[in-house]
Amino acid sequence: MSGVIATPELMVEAATDLAAIGQNLNAAHMTAAAPTVEMLPAAADEVSTSVADLLSRYGQEYQELAQQAAAFHEQFVQQLTASADAYARAEAANAASLRPFDAQYVVDQVTGSVLGWLDFFFPQLNLRGVSFETMLYGLLFWAFIVGAVAFFILFVPGFFTDFFLPSLF
């Protein structure tokens, strides 16, 4: 498997340089167009006129080929620029999908899932916008209350029969 390394910044720089080269070539072709396309005969004889016509046709063919080369060059620069943009977008997408592990992000996702589930089944609790810390403190508070009641029921003699049962009835 061959490896390809593409640096979008270098590709854009190369496209810019190639565009400048293309502009310089086009300027040179335009400068050379008039003297090469319309050759004047060196003398008034048939040979000079024929040679001038022949060289003028070669000049016209050259200008046509130069136009085709300039169009190809322009397409190449456009493709190189588009490829650099595509590589940059792909790199950005890959970087976004490979973001480093963030514990707070995981906590926020889990909290959002739990709060969304609780809000779905118990909308009267109005849990929208509750932070993780608030939810954690509330859970710890209720765990402490339940634990304290369980402790008194299990380990304090007579608490369940003398205090808890009569308060229920």
The better pLDDT of the pair 124, 57 is held by: 57
- Examine the pLDDT at 161 and tell me if it is beyond 70: no
* Residue limits of CATH 1.10.287.850 in the chain: 8-97
- Residue 150: count other Cβ atoms within 10 Å of its Cβ: 10
Q: Residue 62's closest CA among 33, 19, 21, 28?
A: 33
Count of other CB atoms within 10 angstroms of residue 77 = 19
Task: Please name the fold of domain 8-97.
Answer: Helix Hairpins (1.10.287)
Position 19 confidence tier, pLDDT thresholds 50, 70, 90: very high
Whole-number pLDDT of residue 72? 94
Q: What is the pLDDT of residue 139?
A: 78
Q: What's the rounded Cα separation, in Å, for the pair 15 and 79?
A: 9
Predicted TM-score (pTM) of the model is 0.51
